[in-house]
Amino acid sequence: MPDILQVQGLETQFRTREGIIHAVNGVSFNLKEGETLGIVGESGCGKSVTVMSMLRLIPSPPGKVTAGKALFQGRDLLTMTDEEIRHVRGAQISMVFQDPMTSFNPVLTIGKQVAEPLEVHMGMNQKQAEDRVAEMLAKVGIPNPKDRLNNYPHQFSGGMRQRVMIAMALVCNPQILIADEPTTALDVTIQAQIVDLVKRLRDELGMAIIWITHDLGVIAGLADRMAVMYGGFIIETSPVRDLYAHPTHPYTIGLLGSLPRMDEAGSRRLVSIDGLPPVLLEKPNYCPFAPRCKFAVERCWHENPPLMQISPDHYTACWVDTETGRERS
Amino acid sequence: MTSNEVLLQVRDLVKHFPIMRGTLIQRQVGAVKAVDGVSFDVYRGETLGLVGESGCGKSTTGRAILQLYRPTSGSVIFEGVDLVKLKGEELRKTRRRMQMIFQDPYASLNPRMTVGQIISEPLIIHGIADSKTAQERAEELLRLVGLNPAYTNRYPHEFSGGQRQRVGVARALALEPAFIVCDEPISALDVSVQAQVVNLLEDLQSQMGLTYLFIAHDLSMVRHISNRIAVMYLGVVVELADRHELYNHPLHPYTQALLSAVPIPDPVIEARRQRIILKGDVPSPINPPSGCRFRTRCPLADTICAEQRPDFREAAPGHWVACHMV
């Protein structure tokens, strides 16, 4: 499958009272057509800022994309005119957000809001748009979709609202769906419903997905490939199975070890990662994980490791081979 | 660590929040039946996990046990005394024996007090220490929860979420309680920091012989930390069992669906798993379904489920369940 999106060397900074925060520090990744990529990391690691930068949704000031390219079907999203990017957003690349309550306009009906991209991007009239919206709402599992067009967001439950949000994101048949922690605010049985729905729609519509999450459980069953972020860098990326079976970066190892698993027989002590995630007041010229790392060697404090290929499709940013404990040559 | 001595006995605990209408003359038009008849025992030295989805009444149960909400009816017998009947000074004194750790480490620490003041306040209120010894005790407690004792003069905003939660733990330990209600103590924290706090709670339990009621919606974490687990749905406990028993042989259809919905961080297992996807949402606790609360979403529901509320009975030794179909 050809690449539909190529992000190269993306850097984003925020100006704050304390100084400049280096939120994203040179992130590169590719997304293939129809592929599901999971971006995983803890709060503040830059996972949301990465996709927001790509779509030019970073409020400026205080934010600024200072370097990099985001090539969508060969065209750079970062240098397009406002008119062009507006057409890409919503019609070709669309987004689902974490909080389904605050991402809708509370004073417009669901029918109006879901129809808006159709009227703006596809030039449909109200009648055509309404039919398409009802069809889409039925597809995401909203009972009596025709009647519910006139309902307001508060008349839906959290899970139903997230379904409507997905319907709105997919109504123009985008090539890429970006989901930013879409199930974090939901209960686990509702989360299962939404994940199930997204899988079904993916098989039916064939869009590529970027799924941002801190939950290593959800992504295990959903993504084809995964990128783990820390301190504004991608520190490990590989196909999902490989990453869970052979994590190589000390942070990924720690993250997987700190999760209790429901299918574990006994009870072991959780592996905790000491210390705290970094505050990115300067762009680190050493490995950002070094202060918390059990494997750190002299070199980690002088040189930030780039992503290095360790097997055909597995890249890791670490100077140490964690399997042997020896420095990579 | 777990003994057979019952530390806390909760019987038919009910907490209804009245819904009032009218401005001048208020009258009650209904009630949110947040907790509607909950019974369980907590043994000394154990961790009882209380799980359920948002709005199921798990936090209200925790607060009603500590009398932070006065229960509508039922009894809470703690070390032989019914807390529901206590008031004033007597109740205040028993509060020394039971403490709480809150979910939000940002909202549960007073921003205008130093960490030392926060931790020593309970000691001063209960007249256990004067301000000098309280200060020393605060330093000792900070060391106990893994923070630098020199931090006593710092304010909560100078700490990260995980560190604040440690301060919350230190405050709860100040009075050397026997029993601590942990109300979602880790859900506001990052994954790598969650493990730090859970390990701390486990260490303190084995050092000091604490008993925990651990309230959470994260089933994998509850399974990790608890000895026994109670599952709540819409104000009632639907199943209670030893954690291995509950995860290996869940009897209630809700527990089965809940367990199957929890993702496992392993793509190979995830690819093979069969999920039970529940239909619809949790009904409103203002007007819960008749009979069994779960029947509107239950794949096994029959006519009897609408007519009769199922008894909470012991289906196997130590394994309690409330379902007509089991």
Residue range A82-110, pLDDT digits in tens? 999 998 988 899 999 887 778 889 999 99
- The answer to whether residue A216 neighbours chain B at the CB level (below 8 Å) is yes
From chain A, the residues in CB contact with B268 under 8 A are 241, 244-245
Residue A322 confidence (pLDDT): 87
- The answer to whether residue A256 neighbours chain B at the CB level (below 8 Å) is yes
Which residue pairs from A111-119 have beta carbons closer than 8 angstroms and sit at least 24 positions apart in sequence?
Answer: A111/A148, A111/A149, A111/A150, A113/A153, A113/A168, A114/A164, A114/A167, A114/A168, A114/A171, A115/A171, A117/A90, A117/A91, A117/A168, A117/A171, A117/A172, A118/A171, A118/A172
Whether B278 sits inside 8 A of A270 (CB atoms) is: no
Q: Which residues of chain B carry a pLDDT beneath 50?
A: 1
Whether B263 sits inside 8 A of A259 (CB atoms) is: no
Q: Give the gap in angstroms from C-alpha A269 to the nearest C-alpha of chain B.
A: 7
Q: Give the gap in angstroms from C-alpha A123 to the nearest C-alpha of chain B.
A: 35
Whether A261 sits inside 8 A of B196 (CB atoms) is: no
Banded pLDDT at A229 (limits 50, 70, 90): very high
A43 against A39, higher pLDDT:
A39
What count of Cα atoms within 13 Å lies in the side-chain half-sphere of residue B145? Answer: 27
Distance CA(B253)–CA(B251), nearest Å, equals 6
Residue B230 confidence (pLDDT): 96
- The answer to whether residue B53 neighbours chain A at the CB level (below 8 Å) is yes
Residue A266 confidence (pLDDT): 64
pTM attached to this predicted model:
0.85
Q: Give the pLDDT mean for A295-323.
A: 92
Q: Give the gap in angstroms from C-alpha B34 to the nearest C-alpha of chain A.
A: 17
Task: Write the single-letter amino acid at A105.
Answer: N
Mutate to test the interface with B, among A162, A183, A189, A255 (most CBs of B within 10 A): A189
Task: Write the single-letter amino acid at A270.
Answer: L
Q: Give the pLDDT mean for A32-47.
A: 91
Beta bridge partners of A89: A93
Residue of A nearest to B162 (CA): A276
